[in-house]
Chain A
Amino acid sequence: MAYFESDRCSVTAQLHDMVIESVVEAFEPMGFLEVLPAEAFVPYDERMNRVRVEIMVETPFQGEMRLIIPKEVGMEITTNLYSYDRGQVTENMLNDMLREILNVIAGRLVARIVPPEIPFTIGLPEVGKKSFDDKNTPSSTFHFHLEQNPFWVVLLGEGFFSASK
């Protein structure tokens, strides 16, 4: 059973499964690495050298999705795709790779939430500078492991939780 934390929102089992399926579906073909839901709560360490990317869901509901991942893991995924040595991977390549992965995760998740006859739009992913979480926004954090390293996916905004009920 995968563990997930839901501080300020109730997450249905259905939404929980949708998030996990979407993350696995996005990471494995592009990152060539196996992703597993964490079996226990993985605390987020602010001192961690990590990259945070974010993307907005624009229609038919509004929300934000974030991917927080250790830079080291991002580097591994990027070197795998480019078939480069680590020294050849630039910050731009790393950020671009993680933006694209989040873009695919968001697309897969929203496609699962929204009925197929309703088109949806998501924005352009960006490397974020905000804090890990927004205290006043309904949110849920999902914990994963990739090659023994933790990473997190955060859903923010009531839309995710009401649209998936």
Chain B
Amino acid sequence: MKTILIVDDSSSARLFIQRCFEVSGFNGSQFLEAENGQKAIEVLGGKPVDLLVTDLTMPEVDGLGLLQWAKKNKPQLPVLVITSSGNEARKAELMSAGAKSVLIKPISPAVIQETMKSL
């Protein structure tokens, strides 16, 4: 993955997710950030991105809205949802909306490594 866009309204969460990717062998990737779905759409409109990693609950455009936008406008872009509001029901909903994978916070480098193998 050359360029990974991390979308989360928490700067601490974005940093933690980036660290997990770096420790999992993605330290050569370029990391872009956005604090909500609307900002992410603006980034995606201007730069090529290889993986979209998004939170679910965010102000303005939330993660589900961003996922739906991405499926319509960037259908080849894999989307990984990382949320604290996750259980089996939510996972099923997000997967049927087009997410490649759904992870529950807190994540770890091991979980990222395992997930990225399957993407």
Q: Which residues of A contact B (CB under 8 A)?
A: 25-26, 29-30, 78, 81-82, 93, 96-97, 99-100, 103-104, 106-108, 110-111, 114, 116-124
Contact = CB atoms under 8 A, between A and B. Distances in A.
Q: Indicate the size class of the contact surface on chain B.
A: 20 to 34
Interface string B86-99: 11111001000000
A117 B89 contact: yes
Nearest to A59: B85
B107 to A, nearest CB: 8
Interface of A is mostly: helix
B115 interface: no
Given A25-B106, A30-B12, A114-B87, 13 more contacts: A29-B108, A81-B16, A82-B15, A93-B12, A96-B12, A97-B12, A100-B10, A104-B84, A107-B83, A107-B84, A117-B88, A120-B90, A122-B84
B85 A120 contact: yes
B15 A81 contact: yes
A122 B57 contact: yes
Which 8 pairs across A and B sit closest by C-beta, in order of nearness? A107-B84, A116-B88, A119-B89, A100-B10, A97-B12, A29-B106, A100-B12, A119-B90
B85 to A, nearest CB: 5
B11 interface: yes
Interface in B24-59: 57-59
A56 to B, nearest CB: 11
